[in-house]
Amino acid sequence: MLKRVISVVLCTMMLMLMAPAAMATEDIMSMEEPAPVTFIALTLEPGDSIYDLCRTFGIDYIAAKPAIMELNGWTQESAMNFLRAGDTILLPLPGYSAAITGVPDFTNDEIAYYVVPYMIQSGDSLEKIYDYWGLRFERYAQLIRLLNGVEDLDVLSVGTVYYLPTTAENVYGDSYITVMTHQMRAGENAYSVFTAYGIDYNASLPILEAYNGGADLARVPIGGRIYIPLV
């Protein structure tokens, strides 16, 4: 813990020393004071708890609890009980104020990939299909397993429909699923994002996790990306 505190202090000192040099290389558009840093990011170490970290950094845990949950996108306090060493969390400092909470911002969302239904024909293999599409099968293999609930991709049954991820160049007709990507912001969580897209998060969780490569959607950090199928 002492090492981490020293590290935070050293980083702060380095930023202060670097500031004049940075200003000298840029056109100064304004002399306004920079916005204060209102939260800190910490990587959990074995034995850490949010309560102890708050004490270390002089944060009133009880008063800051709503802001802690808001920053980390937690809707239930019990989420704090499932943190592990290596997880990154955000803690609020005096002056913290979330931008807009509870309302996901889709301004920068974009198409990540498409999923097309493909009926297996005699002589087909997934490697041949992806070669024909000009794509590397290995890149998509795990996602194919998850989307179709199969493990062995070498044994295909003629007439079986597989859902295959691909790019826009291989989408024909109207029978396809568009998958968007969304970068998580403070105050957001997977539930709020999928719900805002009109998706029943709880009822669809297994398939939503499949579209996200099997990721635990309850643990997507701020800045992390989630993938939303528009079905």
The per-residue pLDDT for range 123-167, each reduced to its tens digit, is 999 999 999 999 999 999 999 999 999 999 999 999 999 999 999
Common-topology check for domains 2-92 and 99-231:
yes
pLDDT at 208: 96
> Which residue's structure tokens are 């969302």?
109
Each residue's pLDDT tens digit, 176-194: 999 999 998 877 888 889 9
> Which residue's structure tokens are 């800045």?
223
pLDDT at 159: 96
Using a 10 angstrom Cβ sphere, with 0-12 exposed, 13-18 middle and 19 or more buried, the burial of residue 130 is buried
Q: Residue 227 is encoded by which pair of tokens? A: 């993938």
pLDDT at 93: 80
Phi and psi for 189 in degrees, rounded to 5?
Answer: -145, 170
Mean predicted lDDT score pLDDT of the chain: 80
pLDDT at 199: 92
> Which residue's structure tokens are 């040099």?
21
Confidence of residue 55 (pLDDT cuts 50, 70, 90): confident
pLDDT at 99: 47
CATH 3.30.930.10 fits 99-231, yes or no: no
Among candidate residues 82, 86, 75, 91, the one with its CA nearest the CA of residue 44 = 86
> Chain centroid to CA 125: how far?
32
Distance CA 90, CA 163 (A): 38
Distance CA 140, CA 74 (A): 31
Question: Residue 174 pairs with which residues in a beta bridge?
Answer: none
CB 179 within 8 A of CB 114: yes
pLDDT above 60 for 68? yes
Confidence of residue 21 (pLDDT cuts 50, 70, 90): very low
Confidence of residue 96 (pLDDT cuts 50, 70, 90): low
pLDDT at 35: 42
pLDDT at 185: 85
Kindly report the CA angle at 111 between 107 and 113, in degrees rounded to 5? 160
pLDDT at 183: 93
pLDDT above 90 for 16? no
Distance CA 187, CA 99 (A): 8
Q: What percent of the chain has pLDDT over 70?
A: 79
**In this structure, which CATH number among 3.40.1670.10, 3.10.350.10, 3.40.50.1370, 1.25.40.10 belongs to the domain 2-92?**
3.10.350.10
Confidence of residue 37 (pLDDT cuts 50, 70, 90): low
Annotated domain spans of the chain = 2-92, 99-231
The residue that leads in pLDDT, 67 or 199, is 199
pLDDT at 28: 27
